Structure 1
Amino acid sequence: MRSEHALQFHEQALDRLDLREVLGAIPERAMVLLGAPGCGKSTLLRRLQLDDARERLADGGDTVSLFVSLGAYPLDKKAPEKNAPRPLDWLQAQWHRLAPDLPDLEALLKERRVLLLLDALNEMPHGSVDDFRDRVEKWRCFLRDDFPPGNRAVFSCRSLDYSEELSIKDDLQVRQVLVKPLTSEQIEEFLRLHSPEHAAGAWGEIRGNERLLELYSTPYFLKLLVDQLAYDPRVANERAALFTGFVRRALEREIAGRNPLFVQDGVIDDSDREQIAQRDWQHAYDLPVSGPLVSQLGLLAYRMQEQFGRSSDGKQVMMPRKQLLDLFEHPQANDLLKAGKALALLDEEHRIARFCHQLLQEYFAARQLAKQPADVARLAHTEWRADRVKPSLADKVATLLDFEPLPPLTPTGWEETAVLAVGMAAEPDGFARGLAEVNLVLAARCAAAVRTTGRAKPDTVEMLKARLVTRSRDPDADLRARISAARVLGELGDPRFERHTGPHGDYLLPPLVPVEADTYRIGSDEGLYANEAPAHPVPIATDFSIGQFPVTNAEWQLFMDAGGYQDERWWDTVASKRWRRGEDTAEGPKQQQRDFRRDVRAKREQIGSLLKAGKITSTDAQSWTLWYLEMSGAEFDALLDQSFASGVQRRPRYWDDPTYSHRSQPLVGICWHEARAYCAWLSAQAEQCYRLPSEAEWEAAAGGLEGRRYSWGKDFDAARCNTSETHVRGTTPVGVFPGGDTHDRAADLNGSVWEWTGSLLRPYPYVAADGRENPENPENADGRRVVRGGSWRNDRDVARCACRDSFDPDFRFNFLGFRVVCVSPIR
């Protein structure tokens, strides 16, 4: 029974539109909702509270819900270590304030009647990085000690800021749930529903523009755009311009409404009012600055972030009204606060004031940072060397539960502010260069933000690309730093993949590694898996080159842009043509799962054995027990129908899943037919013969003439590859494990993704001429195809060069990709 054959149904089953469905589908009593800024985390929690209350009123249920913002968790900056109250005591106070006539919260918790909604963990005030960890630890202890099973808790947090997990190893599990970005179809539908007059024009500008699609994949910015279109039908191409438009409209509204603060001199003056009335804007970020309002809001936001500095990681700051007024340092502070509230920029509740949204705080702080760009190097300095990062990679992994992914390095908190500021800076190129020495990844993000407007110099972009390549391949860099560097490299454009224009559009030429014709030792006699024996010599008659990396999402994007799914000429077998037409796209994978279910039910005890051996996670074991043992046959078939899409497919299975869809990550979720179609398209584009490697060619490239156990040598090392031991729990950008390279620098051959080969699964010894390399073999058109290399889900045994597995040719999973070989010119 091979664990990689088990379907991760939960990745599909939890693709939900309603948090109530998610809560109903997971066993853990607590979960954390993760997502990008503006993706709607707070709104989802509020909607969950509303829906839950409606259900309880309708069915007479006795559960109650409490929504609180963790940004209000108390902090005395003069003595932060003395002012982190016990979470239960603080929640009791919030509950009593909101519902003084209802029973005591602690009593309700003991009766298991509470749905607790804890918004914005990333905004929790703290005095230092260590203090933040201590405060998170208090919430962990609350969940463990004061939150009995039967109650439910939902936290929310920005994905980038979730570096301190709420789970407690061997004690408490907190499930992570990701808010996915809007798809292009959802963006178009939103525009059509909410701005019908301007939808067609706006969508015409956004469609096909990768950067705009990314910008408007979050509801917050898409709503800002819809509101902006009525004011200006042009589509803003960056976030700072959207915020600026929001402020302009708010100023017009207050003046039109004759608000005394805005029609009399004070926070703005006649010159400002004239500029607003005439919409006399010099550039996309221009606001009236003759009066003190805009400049003071910028200073306020900047001081709020700088005052807390790295100690608060730039989180949204909440503070007593008097403290905020003091930060203005202006005689009209009271009027400035009132004006900010009237414009829906500032908010005040129970004499606690803040910006209405963290993004607005960051925008106004960015306006000030753009005026004093020299500060960014001080504010955004970060460490990346493995021997200096705290906590170390090993220390962080030691705290993770078996199913938890490796979080990113702790952010500085000025990331979003800097990316907003660079576009508003007088010299954006200098702004990015000034950052490069202290925060290379953020410098590259800033350059990417202004490159589309032509305000980043080409030599600066090329310099950043080269340094990012070096960082991503630097063995002295922490793995998390290498991953971050490789991800932003994908945004800028990886120079290792040369862009060309062929007869069918643009394509990326993959870097190749030569493999000499010779006789190679294939297979293994270790006895781990029967199908890899015996070890035997196999002659490779012709020199070939293999891709240095698996095919990436960036490469595949151009295949899709060229109409690769629609053009039948790339689908050259009867079976592949049938797959492209949507015929029998799901039955093969379904049957493979039925076979695996049969094997599990015949050896039930192996679930526990695999868990104990570390070959599956605790969540895998729970899911397997449910899916393969407890579900009836009819229920299991219904789950198969839900998990395997039938009909015509026009994109990889996980293309819209941000966990797997970054440009620098290896492509996953494609079947054997899709991989072969790409090779045919690339061959026509480059006028050279590209195809899938045979499994013998793949092992020759990975193990070399020495017949290495792993691509680097005999002994396993989790620092050299992405396997279950590495604890990433997902694919990694290509090339970030330099220690795992072969002697010829072929990368990622062990772990990360299983790689399709051209070979039909047949027993050893390997004989190329026996029909296993003939894709048109009519007897085996639907036979299983060999995959090699193991994946992020598998352990060291499966990552060995000799290990072979197989899947149905129309199987598509989140651990299944491919790389190409180039054999001979076809000119």
Structure 2
Amino acid sequence: VTIRRARAEDIIASELPQYLATQLPDDPTARQAMCRAKATGLIEGIKVESGILVELGLDTDGEPLISFSHLTFQEYLAARALAGQPGLPNSLIGNLPSPAWQEVTLLYVDIKQDATSVIQKLIALAERNPEAWLGAARCLNEKVRVAPQEREIVLRGMHSLLSTQDQNFRVRVCELLATVGTLESARVLVDVLEKDSVWDIRYAAGNALGRLGDPRFVSDQPIMLDVPEGEFKMGSNQYSGEKPIHSVFVPRFQISKFPITNSEYKRFMEETGHAAPPDWEEKNFPKGRANHPVVNVSWYDGVEFCNWLSQKTRRNFHLPSEAQWEKAARGTDGREYPWGNEFDSNKCNVFESKIGTTTPVGIYIEGASPCGALDMAGNVLEWCSSLYEPYPFRENDGREKLSAEGARILRGGSWYFDQVLSRCAFRLGLDPHNRFYVVGFRVAESFS
């Protein structure tokens, strides 16, 4: 807000008598002159000593103009003034849904330490203006009082907004639920992530879950998918390391639907004392990335995770063999990518997708493999149990010996590499001691 300096002095001068301890003259003219002089000095002092006020030149009539140096000062002082009034001020009621009044409203409820009356008014406005639901949700601050009934109504209203046709609005709802949501909100966001047809909204839901807490990963046991026994065509004729195409029989096994996430790996660390990946700070994964795949883990880290999980659950978890991984990724029809034979950067997180980092697991639902596994193309390269040996693949030729020395297999491509590495048949070998920011793992379970 910009105002004539003379007008500001008039306003201050009219309010000063109730605050001054100095005895004022009885003469009205003299009293007004004294208050005006003090107002002039006050504005000058504020401008020079604190920098809260700045001069902005002259208006068209040649009158000096002043303004707050930053909008925050104006918003805070407006909130203080409103909080000093009895009840819910009309000037606030009339502007509640307005984005321009968002900070004033939040400061007001923080000063009052009670958001119930503001939220009740916003709920009443929400039928005509859905923006009011977002305003009400922002007031759900754990530091201020909110009646439980109002909290429940607001969250239900927010959940209903996730079905609106406005995609940008749905993204905003997801982002806001990350800060004010509950366990029920998290379940709603999982539903959005798994079913919404728009990638941007699934991405927003995934990011929100990364901050709020993702209920997909609260169990000690990963979500596992069945891969029936049988033969499949392994390899390809495109690169020498993938030749020849050959049939491999794989007994029935299960594979995790997603790569192992940061939150799952942290649970393993907490229970075993295992060292954190080098990119973690004070044994904490990067903020907001609970449901991103863990990276910077060696092959040995993956093996130790599987051993811990097996002991904890009394099941037979391990890194997938190279054959298990490829069969889970491509099924039995020899497809090029988990979803088919044509590359599509909208179905995976690779270099061509232009994301530039890992993404929450499971948001590329169109990129599912035949068994339903997600992120098998892109996001992160994944360790397999197998040594990097020439084809044909033979499980009993020593390549599955965990104590053997040599490079171990990586599969699946990553956000950093292009589409070539995301092909189902592509294989890399890497020293099992190495840790890279593009390498993670998933787990398998065998039954024989």
Give yes or no for TM over 0.5.
yes
User: 2:200 is matched with which residue: 480, 487, 500?
Assistant: 480
Note the alpha carbon deviations across 1:397-442, whole angstroms, 9 max, x for none.
Answer: xxxxxxxxxxxxxxx9859834427963112233322322125533
Are the structure 2 counterparts of residues 367 and 705 from structure 1 closer, same or farther at C-alpha, using a change threshold of 3 Å?
same
Q: 2:119 aligns with which of 360, 372, 381?
A: 372
Residue number in structure 2 paired with 1:785: 408
Which residue in the other structure is 1:699 paired with?
326
- Residue 246 of structure 2 corresponds to residue 536 of structure 1: yes
Distance 1:436 1:772, change over 3 A: same
1:652 aligned residue: 277
In 1, the alpha carbon distance for the partners of 2:363 and 2:432 equals 29
Q: Which residue of 2 aligns with 1:331?
A: none
**Structure 1 residues 299 and 548, CA, compared in 2 at 3 Å: closer, same or farther?**
farther
Contact kept in structure 1, 2:229 and 2:252, CA below 8 Å: yes
Q: Give TM-score scaled by structure 2 length.
A: 0.70
Q: Is the 8 A contact 2:293 2:360 kept in 1?
A: yes
What letter is aligned with 2:428?
D
User: In the alignment, which residue of structure 2 is the partner of 1:673?
Assistant: 300
Runs of 5+ consecutive residues of structure 2 not aligned to the other structure: 1-50, 57-68, 163-172
2:433 alignment partner in structure 1: 810
Q: Aligned partners of 1:655, 1:424: CA distance in 2, in Å?
A: 36
2:350 to 710, 719, 723: 723
The C-alpha deviation readout for 1:256-303, integer Å capped at 9, x for no partner, is xxxxxxxxxxx9xxxxxxxxxxxxxxxxxxxxxxxx745679869967
Cα distance, 1:300–1:485 mapped onto 2, change above 3 Å: farther
Q: Which residue among 413, 429, 438 is the counterpart of 2:161?
A: 438
> Shift in Å at residue 381 of structure 1?
4.7
- Report the equivalent of 1:525: 237
For 1:799, give the aligned amino acid.
Answer: S
Contact 1:756–1:818 (CA<8 Å) still a contact in 2?
Answer: yes
Aligned twin of 1:346? none
Is the contact between residue 232 and residue 247 of structure 2 (CA under 8 Å) also seen in structure 1?
yes
Distance 1:419 1:480, change over 3 A: farther
Asked if residue 420 in structure 1 is aligned to residue 172 in structure 2, the reply is: no
Q: How does 1:26-175 map to 2 (within 5 A)?
A: none
Residues 444 and 492, structure 1, Cα contact 8 Å, conserved in 2:
yes
- Amino acid corresponding to residue 480 of structure 1 in structure 2: D
Deviation of 1:551 (Å)? 0.6
* Aligned counterparts, 1:410-809, within 5 A: 414=135, 417-420=138-141, 424-427=145-148, 428-438=151-161, 441=174, 442-443=176-177, 445-448=179-182, 461-462=183-184, 464-477=185-198, 479-491=199-211, 493-497=213-217, 499=219, 508-527=220-239, 530-540=240-250, 542-565=251-274, 650-656=275-281, 662-777=289-404, 780=405, 783-809=406-432
Task: Give the Å deviation of 1:655.
Answer: 2.6
Q: Please give the alpha-carbon distance, in whole angstroms, between the structure 2 residues aligned to 1:743 and 1:361.
A: 54
- Alpha-carbon separation, structure 2, partners of 1:762 and 1:811: 18
- TM-score in terms of structure 1 length: 0.39
Inter-CA distance 493–301: structure 2 relative to 1 (3 Å threshold): farther
Question: Matched residues in 1 for 2:321 and 2:424: separation?
Answer: 14
Tell me how many residue pairs correspond in the alignment.
361
Going from structure 1 to structure 2, the CA distance change for 1:789 and 1:306 (only over 3 Å counts) comes to: same
Among 438, 442, 445, the alignment partner of 1:819 is: 442
Partner residue, 1:231: none
Secondary structure of the structure 2 residue equivalent to 1:764? coil
CA 734–692 in structure 1, closer or farther in 2 if over 3 Å, else same: same
Question: How many Å apart are 1:371 and its aligned residue?
Answer: 3.2
Deviation of residue 734 (structure 1)?
A: 1.2
Listed one character per residue, the Cα deviations across residues 539-563 of structure 1 (whole Å, up to 9, x for unaligned) are 21x2100001111112112112213
* Structure 1 pair 433–693 and aligned structure 2 pair: CA distance change class (3 A): same
Displacement after TM superposition at 1:742 (Å): 1.7
Distance in 1 (CA, whole Å) between partners of 2:129 and 2:141 is 14
State the distance in 2 between where 1:666 and 1:301 align: 48
Quote the residue 1:399 is aligned against. Answer: none
Supply the distance in 2 between the matched residues of 1:671 and 1:298 (Cα, whole angstroms): 59
In structure 1, the residue corresponding to 2:415 is in which secondary structure?
coil
Paired residues of 1:422 and 1:432 also in contact (CA < 8 A): no
Question: Matches of 1:415 and 1:652 in 2, distance apart?
Answer: 40
Kindly provide the CA deviation profile for residues 754-793 of structure 1, in whole angstroms up to 9, marking residues without a partner as x. 111111112222222222211112xx1xx22111100111
C-alpha distance in structure 1 between counterparts of 2:138 and 2:111, whole Å: 9
Distance, in Å, in 1 between the alignment partners of 2:115 and 2:431 is 57
Q: Percent identity?
A: 30
Q: Where in structure 1 are there 5+ consecutive unaligned residues? A: 1-68, 75-97, 99-118, 126-246, 252-266, 268-291, 318-357, 383-411, 449-460, 500-507, 566-649
Asked if 2 retains the 8 angstrom alpha-carbon contact of 1:729 and 1:793, the reply is yes
CA RMSD, 1 decimal? 3.9
- Are the aligned partners of 1:750 and 1:800 in contact in 2 as well (CA < 8 Å)? yes
**SS in structure 2 opposite 1:513?**
strand
1:375 counterpart letter in structure 2: L
1:226-279 Cα shifts (integer Å, max 9, x gaps): xxxxxxxxxxxxxxxxxxxxx9xxx9xxxxxxxxxxxxxxx9xxxxxxxxxxxx
State the structure with more CA Rg.
Answer: 2
Q: Deviation of residue 812 (structure 1)? A: 1.7
